[in-house]
Amino acid sequence: MPEKWKFCNRYDPYTMITGDSNEVPTDPKGSLFESGTGLHDLSHIHVLSSTVDTVKQIYHGVIKLKWFEKIELFIDSNEEFLSDGPYGPWHISRIGKSSGYQLKLQNNELGFVVLLKNFHAKFDEPGSHLKIEVSPHRIRSAESGGVLQAELDSIAIWLLEEGWKYVGVAVHLAVDVQGWKPKVDFLQNLITRVRTTKDFRGVSDFHLDNLSEISTVYDNGQSFLFGKASALQMAVYRKDLEISKRDKVDYFHDVWNKNGNGWFESDQCVWRIELRFHHGIMREIGLGLGGKIESFLDAESVLTDVWRYGLDRNRLMLTDRYIDPFWQLLIQDVQFSLPTGVVVRRVKKKDMSNAGKNVAMMIGNIVTLAARRQMDAIQVVRMIEDMALYADVLDYLTSKGYRESRLLEMVERGLKIRRLLGKAA
C-alpha cells in the first residue's frame, strides 16, 4: 500500500469499552476501525466464504491426431457425446471463433470445460491448443492444488502429444459477505486503474470517473463491473440473486453455512467481490515476484497476495487519506487456500424456485395427455405416484404449502378445464 494511503487503526470493541482510554492496544483483527473521521464499527459484517471461483489452465503443444480426428468425426456425424478419455462422458460441439478455439468438450457434472484447437494454429503444429476451465464446485472438492493440477494434466496427457507445457493460468478469486452493501457514493470513492471502452447498449447506467476510467452498472446498482476480461477485472454484485437465477441456491447455502461460522442468514442479501486475473496479468505478477506463474500449482501459494494486489489496484477510499474500513478488512483478514479433506457427497436439492417450474410443467403435460385418453383423476395421480420423480412432485407441493392430497385436486381441475375448453392434446 503506498504511504500516502493509510489504514485505520483497529481495536477490539470490548477492550475499547473496558480498557484505559489512554492505553487501549490495537488489535489486527478488531472490528472497530479508527480513522480521521472517527470510529467505524464493522462487527455486523461477516465474510461467508473466500474461494477460488474459477481456474483456466492453458497448455501449449500438438494435438494428438487420433483424438482430433475422432472428435471431428463424431461432430460431423451429429454425435453429441464422447465417452473416451478421463472424466467422460463429454458433450462435444463446435464453438464460435470469438472463444479463440474450435472445439468444446464439456462435463458440467464433474466441473470441466475443455476448449481444443486454437484458431490461429494448425492442429499438428505446436500452439496454445488446449484450455481447461474448472468450475467452483470442482475446485472446492480438490484435496490440494497439486491434486487439481494433476487432474488437469491428465486431460492434457490424453489430448496432446508428449512435450506439452504450461503457458498460462487465469484465476478468479471471490469473497461473499453479509452486512455490507455499496453505498450511494461507492463509485465516487473507488480509485480504479480501469482503462476500458465498453458498449453500454442494454446497460441501465454508467459512470465516468474521468475519460480513462469507465465502470459499468447493471440492474439498478445491484451489479458493478470494472475493467476488461483480458486484464484485471473486478465485479461487485448480489450473489444471492445470481444463484437463484442459476438454480445454485442449495449449493451456496451449504457453502455459506459451513464457512460462515454460523453468521449466514438465508433471508439477507449476500454481496460478492470478485477479482478476475487474466493469464497475462498472472504472468506479470509472477515476474514481479521473481519467478513464474504459468500453472495453477505456481499460483496456489500466492493467491492471498494476488488478492491484495487486486484490491490495491481497485481501492475503495473512506477519505482522501484513509482506505475504507471494509476494504481494509478484505485486505487484512481474507485468506485464500484450497480446502483439505473435503468430503464430496450428493445432497438432494431443497430449493424449488427453478425446479418447481419444471415440475408444474411436467404435471400439466401429463394432465393434457391424460385428458385426451379420457383417464380420470385417480388414474392420473396413481401414474404420477409410480414415477421415479414423484419425490420432486412432493417437494414442489411442500414448497407451495400444500398437502399431498392437493395433487388430486390439481389433476381434477386440470382435466375438467382441458375437456371443457377443448384443449386436450
- 423 — pLDDT class (breaks 50, 70, 90): low
* CB proximity list for 152: less than 8 A, separation 6 or greater: 55, 57, 132, 134, 296
Provide the 8-state DSSP code for 317: B
Please report the beta strands in 278-327, taking only residues with DSSP state E, as ranges in sequence order.
314-316
Phi/psi of residue 109, nearest 5 degrees: -60, -40
| Across 107-111, 208-212, 217-221, 330-334, least confident range | 208-212
- 270 — pLDDT class (breaks 50, 70, 90): very high
In percent, how much of the chain has pLDDT > 90?
A: 49
In percent, how much of the chain has pLDDT > 70?
A: 85
Residue in the structure block whose three cell numbers are 457514493:
185
> Does residue 13 register a pLDDT over 60?
yes
* Length, in residues, of the chain: 425
- 196 — pLDDT class (breaks 50, 70, 90): very low
More confident residue, 291 or 316: 316
What's the pLDDT tens digit per position in 216-259?
Answer: 666 566 789 998 888 899 999 999 999 888 878 888 999 999 88
Q: Residue 130 and residue 173: Cα distance in Å, rounded? A: 22
**Does the predicted TM-score (pTM) go above 0.95?**
no
| Across 55-69, 126-140, 210-224, 258-272, least confident range | 210-224
**Distance from CA of residue 8 to its chain's centroid?**
31
Mean pLDDT, residues 107-111: 91
Tell me what pLDDT residue 362 has: 86
**Distance from CA of residue 87 to its chain's centroid?**
21
Q: Residue 286 and residue 299: Cα distance in Å, rounded? A: 8
Q: Residue 328 and residue 308: Cα distance in Å, rounded? A: 10
What's the pLDDT tens digit per position in 147-186?
Answer: 999 999 999 999 999 999 999 999 999 999 999 999 999 9
> Does residue 118 register a pLDDT over 50?
yes
C-alpha cell, 279: 493469464
More confident residue, 142 or 395: 142
- 371 — pLDDT class (breaks 50, 70, 90): confident
Q: Helix crossing, 303-313 with 325-333: angle to 10°?
A: 160
Q: Residue 179 and residue 181: Cα distance in Å, rounded? A: 7
